[in-house]
Structure 1
């Protein structure tokens, strides 16, 4: 098996007068944290920016500080069954025109789960894909792939692969985020020593307040301006595709069907049309799930939805969604999150050569050759790995294609080599 994998890899070293440096968002973790500064108000930035650079485990360290310690979820398996989330969603999706599924912005496993649904959803008529991470003004339709300026979150390699995959299998990829066109969010208003922030957008007038105390984030206050604008933008996409079905990949609570949230606004614009809403963010692997009968921790070997055998109702923990996913536990394999190996697109492991590990720690970023040559520093990597110790290397996980690998050491010295995965 190992010999077969090696036959798939063709490595070509080349020296240019000016090596590619790749996307400047990708950096060593300590530099990312230093750039964001200190104070609780910066923790969300650290969490998301570390995720964008492929530091998924490091990013999760900030969750308790930002969100508070996770209370255990108490349920019982007596008279309840764990239903495979993917199978149930695909079955239920046949009844609807619009499917909304959410993500935590620092959890690529949610993007991979959405990605795992797309091909089968396409077979039953879903052919328009929208994502919160894409800016309203973007060039994806023109060039066929995302670049850095199309949105901050999509710089994360798994998010980039989600968009490429959706487009490749036949989805019309769209944005729906609102854009006043006049002024970006102003985050300069700091409210207290804990880093509480008031974000303001002036046209249209809108604001979001994040209130922190010594324990972390304690309250989020927002208006419905953004939610209404997002819903209106989605409606415009729907009007342009009257015969289509729609997959809408959102962040956190924007899919809640109550309060000021986007899904509520959209349902009103659609005159009460029912939509399928799926929450991935409530029960991540950091949340313990305890059986109230046995007091045992319920192990989660696959993403499931809990369904009562008698009433046939599903557990949603009082969230205003149709289905709540109990996420699979996250484990590691070969020093990488195991969920990366479970991508619906097959990946090949590639270990950088010994010569490229001599002055590690080193950051290796793999870009599709055509994308890096065209987009330069705006290119989005297919995978990123920080190899801290030459004696304990972690593999890159790559799809079929032609790549340029950008290698950077702690001194900021770059070199490149080409790689073909057949």
Structure 2
């Protein structure tokens, strides 16, 4: 099953521009040593590596594109993996069009008032899902949620992350993506305790054995929070089918969500973002996604008070599907990167490292030798007018050319 394979294939992204002041241009600013490679690749390199058609090449390409902010390329690379078309029976189509959309965050926060454990999944190549997760954090904090358990945080990195308040390269694999970094920064600022939970299972080349070990281990690690804090309210952030509550949720075995329910006796509120979301081409989308007309993130209800729509993926047993409309673009970027106080910041410094170049924006208050940048863009030439998405503050920008040359400057937004 495609969703089972991808969970084990990897190391288990229109408004006015905001003016800023260029404070300094100096190639000798204290950034990484030349022998310390950055975990970001040029799009041409990603394309070349993907063309080799090694196992999982398209997955890896989709992740790599997302890390440098190339959202359309990430979607296209993911779609190019083999898989059956996502169809919906005629009767189901008629039933879906009879539903009405309600704003997703409001619905989830209303439900959260009576929930102890919420499980929210993501597609690992789709930064928009992290943006939506970030949008829920302030409201959930007001409802008493104090723990954010994150699959992508590496074992034993959560204590360092909670102390530091921002991710570094050692924090995890997917966490090097800027929107994931923003999710973790917002959670820390809102008082959440960040918790790693994807550990404790020995890796195995046999997929069935890996699932049989990994899912219970994840559930046990989350359940320990309730042992130390019996009143805890927990938001669990995971990938794809770990949120599946069905008895054969992942590779024919119970997934983390089902295992956690068994361990704790608490029925989690499970939210899927992966089925009703845009793909690189319509062929990669669920048929009901193409029927939806909502203009903002939504859930679909038959009538008020009834259970929401949760059947966009027949292989997933969850409580609700969240729909995300097609992306609109602003300042050369997906408009959803401009949220939670982040604004378009023009790139006006003359580029001296040649084109194409990668531009990485680091918070001046963070450790530039290790921190994950707040934003990453690839600029193809002088006419490429992409903007950074940044909050108010001081930032060091690193420009890197294909030949390894580096240029740095400081901006104040």
Which bracket does the TM-score occupy, shorter chain normalised?
A: 0.7 to 0.9
Q: Counterparts of 1:390 and 1:332 in 2: how far apart (Å)?
A: 20
Give the TM-score normalised by the residue count of structure 2.
Answer: 0.84
Shift in Å, 1:323: 0.7
Q: Does 1:165 align with 2:202?
A: no
Q: 1:49 aligns with which of 56, 64, 67?
A: 64
- Within 5 Å, give how 1:137-286 maps onto structure 2: 137-138=156-157, 139-179=160-200, 185=203, 200=205, 207-208=206-207, 223-259=211-247, 260-270=254-264, 272-286=265-279
Q: 1:134 aligns with which of 124, 145, 153?
A: 153
Partner of 1:5: 18
Shift in Å, 1:305: 1.2
Q: Counterparts of 2:353 and 2:40 in 1: how far apart (Å)?
A: 21
> Where in structure 1 are there 5+ consecutive unaligned residues?
186-198, 201-206, 210-220
Q: For residue 366 of structure 2, give the secondary structure of its aligned residue in structure 1.
A: helix
Q: For residue 403 of structure 1, give the secondary structure of its aligned residue in structure 2.
A: strand
Q: 2:386 aligns with which of 364, 370, 394?
A: 394
Q: Does 1:24 align with 2:38?
A: yes
Indicate the larger mover: 248-257 or 237-246. 237-246
Partner of 1:61: 76
Q: 1:415 aligns with which of 400, 407, 412?
A: 407
8 Å Cα contact 2:104-2:297 kept in structure 1: yes
Partner of 1:114: 133
Q: 1:88 aligns with which of 68, 82, 107?
A: 107
Indicate the larger mover: 45-54 or 111-120. 45-54
Q: Counterparts of 1:2 and 1:227 in 2: how far apart (Å)?
A: 44
8 Å Cα contact 2:297-2:322 kept in structure 1: yes
Aligned length: 377
Runs of 4+ in 1 over 4 A off after TM superposition: 1-4, 75-79, 288-291
Q: Does 1:123 align with 2:118?
A: no
Q: Counterparts of 2:22 and 2:94 in 1: how far apart (Å)?
A: 51
Q: Counterparts of 2:187 and 2:85 in 1: how far apart (Å)?
A: 33
Q: Counterparts of 1:174 and 1:285 in 2: how far apart (Å)?
A: 30
1:78–1:103 Cα change, 3 Å = closer
Shift in Å, 1:63: 2.1
8 Å Cα contact 1:405-1:417 kept in structure 2: yes
Q: Counterparts of 1:230 and 1:100 in 2: how far apart (Å)?
A: 13
Say what the alpha-carbon RMSD is for the aligned residues. Answer: 2.6
Shift in Å, 1:177: 0.6
Q: After superposition, give the CA deviation of every residue in 1:256-305 in whole Å (9 maximum; x if it has no partner).
A: 111210011111101x32211100001111225459xxxx8433311111
> Where in structure 2 are there 5+ consecutive unaligned residues?
1-13, 248-253, 280-284
Indicate the larger mover: 119-128 or 28-37. 28-37
Q: Counterparts of 2:305 and 2:195 in 1: how far apart (Å)?
A: 39
